[in-house]
């Protein structure tokens, strides 16, 4: 028993010794840790009595020892530091760790962590851990002060999008209280969802890059504002993104300035465009005026004006129709039109124009004239037969003559006032522009955009009116010039008629004198010829056959017959050609005349073709005289075809006249002789009097007809006869 007790005693002592050694070892270890820990440690009882402090705390407190200090209220400089006593009491009261920033009187800052010390669930004291954070705190306070200098709202967000820090501007804008730290940012933005709609915080966390966006939101007491939102990453020493800084900048005033500048720029650009347009308009007006002044022809002026209205460099309308006032007839007449007839034609024309280099309105006139050379047929067909009595005051265009203001007609087909003109011009929308010169109406211009369907603008019509002011004077001048030209032409015609009558009178007097002389000579020659012919016939009867006397008498007789023929021609020419007309079948007359000299055609190797229009019927002519005309023409044709050929006679009827063509395939009439063919006694033959064509000409003139010819050397000659298609009742 004693032996067991002794062993038990030894074991207990051994255990106590080991335990004490272990406790001593741990105490030394704990003491070494506490002394070497860079944190200041102060152990206080629940009543505030100082139990222990490590060297780091003494160094931070700048005291040598706490042996003479019993209570924390005597521990300088901590006893004078706000939050020191409050932190201890709050830690004991709550039984939980309390953190505070302690600012010492000397300006240093410490992080104070009050940790409750408990045993068996009861609080026995408070362990205070302090760390010098003066540098960080000063920097933070400087940052706060610096951040408050700006008008931007600044906040720092943690990785879970909770607020770490925000400046006063942000807190004021978004009504963030003192307890904002740790709140989710969406909590502050829940009434301003615009800031979440395009939020770039997630992108910054994801990419590590700064981002920018703009939002518009309502700020209480301020109203609608424009904000520029910037987000940037905050990285640790390892380059990991731990936080995001978000800067919200009110750029409303700047944006307003930008908007004002943009509006000012836009206004300046608009003014510049208007000024440029005005300069272009003035340049175009000057070039148009010069182009109009350069020509006196009315049609040319009209073409220039309408080209200016339809050219892209001008007013740019698709089509233009011009109606001019004829004061003499009291009519408004469709005169000229310009424009394509279809979208396809417009595409072709505009494509050609697009490929041309146009530097001026003068270039445009030339280019458009070339491109539109065959493109105005339909529009001119539309306008060609349009004319309106100026007394028709219900007519839209006539009414426009009394107005000085252009007028636009939209949906014209459904407007009773404009329907008729819209249907005629085949358009839906058009505009009417009155033309005035020196206070008097000149005409009316109608424009449309039937191809492009573009709206007709007041600005476009204003430009048309400006062009019309210049063009109207040129049109009035052109009309006066045309009128003067017409009067001049009439005077010229009268003068030519007078000159022709004078020539005719001289010719008549000359022919009369020739006729009288010819008649006297013919009578004087005829009597000896009769005697000579009589004696030649007697000799021919009595002379034996084959004798030289008989042969000579035959020659004398032939020459006498030839001379008697010449005398007959001369007497015929000297007689009056007053026709004795009666209703005669001219086709039958021609056929019988051909039969009369059929043997002559056969001997000459001439083939005769007749193309006689059966519907002609009878006309009032002197058949003997007209037969003489055809005989003269047929014989001339035979003479013109010495090697044979074809004679073609054609009759036709139109325009109240009977037209006859005598066509041969002979040698033709030399150009030098063409002006002398109808003169008396002119001939290209070795025999004959040269009176046949002259007599024929006078016969046709006596019938109120015309005789002329067309000839080509070695190709043939065609004689034309034109006789009135009249019948005696």
Q: Of the candidates 472, 489, 523, which is a domain's last residue?
A: 472
Asked if residue 50 has pLDDT above 80, the reply is: yes
Res 29: pLDDT: 54
Q: At what angle do helices 252-293 and 361-371 cross, to 10 degrees?
A: 70
Mean pLDDT over all residues of the chain?
Answer: 79
Res 130: pLDDT: 92
Res 621: pLDDT: 92
Q: What is the DSSP letter of 71?
A: B
Q: Report yes or no on 362 lying in a domain.
A: yes
Are the C-beta atoms of 77 and 104 separated by less than 8 Å?
yes
Res 587: pLDDT: 93
- Tell me: the pLDDT tens digits for 99-146? 988 989 888 889 899 999 887 778 889 999 998 888 766 666 666 666
Q: Of the candidates 448, 472, 496, which is a domain's last residue?
A: 472
Is 684 found in the same domain as 621?
A: yes
- 618: domain CATH number? 3.30.565.10
Helix (H) or strand (E) holding 436: strand 430-437
Phi/psi at 321 (nearest 5 deg)? Answer: -120, 130
Tally of structural domains, the chain:
5
CA 550 to each of CA 164, 449, 561: distance values in angstroms, whole numbers, following the listed order: 161, 98, 17
Q: Report yes or no on 407 lying in a domain.
A: yes
CA 713 to each of CA 503, 698, 718: distance values in angstroms, whole numbers, following the listed order: 29, 26, 12
Q: Report yes or no on 518 lying in a domain.
A: no
Q: What is the pairing mode between strands 153-158 and 645-654?
A: unpaired
Q: What is the pairing mode between strands 706-712 and 50-53?
A: unpaired
Query: Token match 């407190």: residue?
Result: 61
Asked if residue 30 has pLDDT above 60, the reply is: no
Q: Work out the average pLDDT over 237-244.
A: 88
Asked if residue 230 has pLDDT above 80, the reply is: yes
- Tell me: the pLDDT tens digits for 479-529? 677 777 778 888 888 888 888 777 767 766 665 666 666 666 666 676 677
Is 420 found in the same domain as 320?
A: yes
Is 348 found in the same domain as 448?
A: yes
CA 425 to each of CA 91, 341, 430, 485: distance values in angstroms, whole numbers, following the listed order: 101, 11, 9, 32
- 43: domain CATH number? 3.30.450.20
- Give dist(CA 470, CA 461) in Å, integer: 14
Is 333 found in the same domain as 371?
A: yes
Indicate if the alpha-carbon torsion angle 529, 534, 535, 536 is positive or negative.
positive
Is 6 found in the same domain as 56?
A: no
Phi/psi at 713 (nearest 5 deg)? Answer: -55, 125
How many C-beta atoms surround the C-beta of residue 484 within 10 A?
A: 11
- 296: domain CATH number? 3.30.450.40
- Phi-psi group of 221: left, alpha or beta (phi > 0 → left; psi -120 to 50 → alpha; rest → beta): left
Q: Work out the average pLDDT over 234-242.
A: 87
Q: Of the candidates 83, 104, 134, which is a domain's last residue?
A: 134
Q: Report yes or no on 265 lying in a domain.
A: no
Task: Provide the 3-class DSSP secondary structure of residue 219.
Answer: strand
- Give dist(CA 116, CA 156) in Å, integer: 32
What is the pLDDT confidence band of residue 284, given thresholds at 50, 70 and 90? Answer: low
Number of residues assigned to the chain: 729
Q: Report yes or no on 503 lying in a domain.
A: no
Q: Among residues of the chain, what percentage have pLDDT more than 90? A: 16
Full 3-state SS string of 627-690: HHHHHHHHHHHHHHCCCCEEEEEEEEEECCEEEEEEEECCCCCCHHHHHHCCCCCCCCCCCCCC
Domain that includes residue 450, residue range: 286-472
CA 388 to each of CA 168, 265, 478, 482: distance values in angstroms, whole numbers, following the listed order: 85, 52, 21, 21
Is 330 found in the same domain as 232?
A: no
Is 29 found in the same domain as 41?
A: no
Query: Token match 């009035």: residue?
Result: 476
Is 294 found in the same domain as 438?
A: yes
What the block records as the tokens of 713 is 């050397």
Q: What is the DSSP letter of 591?
A: H
Res 686: pLDDT: 47
Are the C-beta atoms of 464 and 449 separated by less than 8 Å?
no
Asked if residue 83 has pLDDT above 70, the reply is: yes
CA 410, 413, 415, 416: dihedral to nearest 10 degrees?
150
Angle, vertex CA 185, rays to CA 181 and CA 188, nearest 5: 90
Q: Report yes or no on 182 lying in a domain.
A: yes
The residue among 126, 27, 52, 42 whose CA lies nearest residue 78 is: 42
Phi/psi at 627 (nearest 5 deg)? Answer: -60, -40
- Tell me: the pLDDT tens digits for 197-210? 778 888 898 898 99
Is 667 found in the same domain as 687?
A: yes
The residue among 359, 371, 352, 356 whose CA lies nearest residue 307 is: 371
What is the pLDDT confidence band of residue 650, given thresholds at 50, 70 and 90? Answer: very high
Q: Report yes or no on 256 lying in a domain.
A: no
Is 296 found in the same domain as 410?
A: yes
Query: For residues 673 and 403, which has the higher predicted lDDT (pLDDT)?
Result: 403
Q: Report yes or no on 262 lying in a domain.
A: no
Is 244 found in the same domain as 314?
A: no
Q: Among residues of the chain, what percentage have pLDDT more than 70? A: 73
- Tell me: the pLDDT tens digits for 527-565? 677 777 777 788 877 888 778 887 787 778 777 776 766
- Classify residue 34 as exposed, middle or buried by CB count within 10 Å of its CB (0-12, 13-18, 19+): middle
Is 376 found in the same domain as 305?
A: yes
pTM of the model: 0.37
Q: Which of 221-230, 293-302, 492-501 has the lowest mean pLDDT?
A: 293-302
Asked if residue 33 has pLDDT above 60, the reply is: no
Task: Provide the 3-class DSSP secondary structure of residue 718.
Answer: strand
Are the C-beta atoms of 121 and 142 separated by less than 8 Å?
no
- Tell me: the pLDDT tens digits for 577-586? 678 899 999 9
C-alpha 478: how far from chain center = 31
- Tell me: the pLDDT tens digits for 679-719? 665 555 545 555 677 788 888 888 889 998 888 888 899 99
Task: Provide the 3-class DSSP secondary structure of residue 75.
Answer: coil
């Amino acid at each position: 028993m004693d032996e067991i007790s002794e062993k038990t005693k030894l074991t207990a002592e051994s255990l106590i010794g080991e335990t004490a050694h272990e406790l001593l070892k741990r105490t030394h270890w704990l003491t070494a840790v506490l002394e070497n820990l860079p944190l200041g440690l102060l152990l206080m009882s629940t009543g505030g009595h100082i139990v222990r402090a490590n060297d780091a705390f003494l160094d931070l407190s700048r005291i040598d020892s706490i042996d003479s200090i019993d209570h924390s209220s005597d521990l300088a400089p901590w006893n004078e530091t706000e939050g020191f006593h409050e932190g201890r009491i709050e830690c004991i009261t709550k039984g939980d760790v309390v953190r505070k920033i302690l600012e010492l009187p000397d300006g240093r800052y410490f992080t104070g962590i009050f940790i409750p010390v408990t045993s068996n669930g009861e609080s026995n004291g408070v362990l205070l851990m302090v760390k010098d954070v003066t540098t960080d705190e000063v920097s933070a306070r400087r940052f706060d002060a610096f951040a408050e200098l700006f008008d931007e709202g600044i906040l720092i967000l943690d990785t879970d999008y909770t607020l770490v820090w925000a400046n006063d501007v942000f807190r004021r804008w978004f009504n963030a209280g003192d307890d904002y730290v740790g709140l989710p940012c969406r909590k502050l933005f829940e009434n301003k969802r615009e800031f979440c709609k395009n939020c770039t915080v997630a992108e910054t966390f994801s990419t590590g890059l700064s981002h920018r966006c703009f939002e518009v939101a309502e700020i209480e007491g301020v109203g609608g504002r424009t904000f520029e939102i910037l987000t940037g990453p905050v990285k640790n020493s390892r380059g990991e993104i731990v936080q995001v800084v978000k800067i919200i900048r009110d750029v409303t005033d700047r944006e307003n300035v930008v908007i004002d500048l943009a509006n000012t720029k836009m206004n300046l650009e608009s003014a510049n465009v208007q000024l440029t347009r005005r300069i272009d308009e003035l340049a175009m007006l000057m070039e148009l005026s010069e182009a109009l002044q350069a020509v006196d022809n009315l049609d040319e002026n009209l073409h220039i004006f309408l080209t200016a209205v339809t050219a892209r460099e001008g007013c740019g309308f698709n089509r233009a129709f011009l109606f001019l006032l004829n004061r003499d007839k009291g009519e408004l007449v469709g005169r000229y039109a310009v424009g394509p007839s279809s979208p396809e034609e417009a595409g072709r024309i505009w494509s050609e124009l697009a490929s041309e280099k146009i530097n001026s309105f003068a270039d445009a006139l030339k280019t458009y004239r070339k491109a539109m050379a065959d493109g105005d047929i339909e529009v001119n067909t539309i306008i060609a037969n349009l004319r309106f009595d100026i007394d028709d005051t219900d007519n839209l265009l006539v009414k426009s003559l009394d107005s000085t203001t252009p007028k636009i007609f939209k949906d014209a087909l459904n407007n009773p006032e404009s329907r008729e003109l819209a249907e005629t011009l085949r358009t839906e929308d058009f505009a009417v522009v009155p033309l005035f010169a020196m206070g008097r109406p000149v005409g009316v211009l109608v424009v449309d955009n039937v191809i492009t369907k573009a709206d007709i603008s007041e600005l476009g019509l204003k430009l048309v009116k400006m062009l019309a002011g210049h063009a109207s004077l040129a049109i009035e001048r052109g009309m006066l010039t045309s009128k003067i030209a017409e009067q001049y032409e009439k005077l010229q015609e009268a003068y030519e008629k007078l000159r022709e009558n004078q020539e005719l009178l001289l010719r008549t007097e000359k022919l009369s004198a020739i006729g009288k002389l010819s008649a006297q000579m013919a009578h004087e020659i005829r009597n000896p010829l009769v005697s000579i012919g009589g004696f030649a016939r007697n000799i021919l009867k009595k002379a034996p056959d084959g004798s030289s006397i008989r042969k000579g008498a035959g020659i004398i007789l032939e020459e006498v017959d030839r001379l008697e023929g010449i005398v007959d021609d001369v007497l015929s020419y000297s007689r009056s050609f007053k026709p004795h007309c009666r209703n005669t079948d001219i086709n039958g007359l021609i056929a019988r005349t051909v039969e009369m000299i059929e043997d002559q055609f056969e001997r000459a190797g001439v083939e005769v073709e007749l193309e006689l229009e059966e519907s002609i019927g009878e006309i009032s002519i002197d058949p003997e005289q007209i037969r003489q005309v055809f005989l003269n023409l047929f014989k001339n044709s035979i003479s013109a075809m010495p090697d044979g050929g074809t004679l073609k006679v054609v009759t036709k009827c139109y325009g109240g006249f009977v037209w006859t063509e005598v066509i041969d395939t002979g040698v033709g009439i030399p150009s030098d002789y063409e002006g002398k063919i109808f003169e008396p006694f002119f001939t290209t033959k070795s025999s004959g009097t040269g009176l046949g064509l002259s007599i024929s000409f006078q016969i046709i003139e006596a019938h109120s007809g015309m005789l002329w010819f067309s000839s080509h050397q070695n190709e043939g000659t065609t004689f034309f006869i034109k006789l009135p298609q009249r019948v005696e009742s």
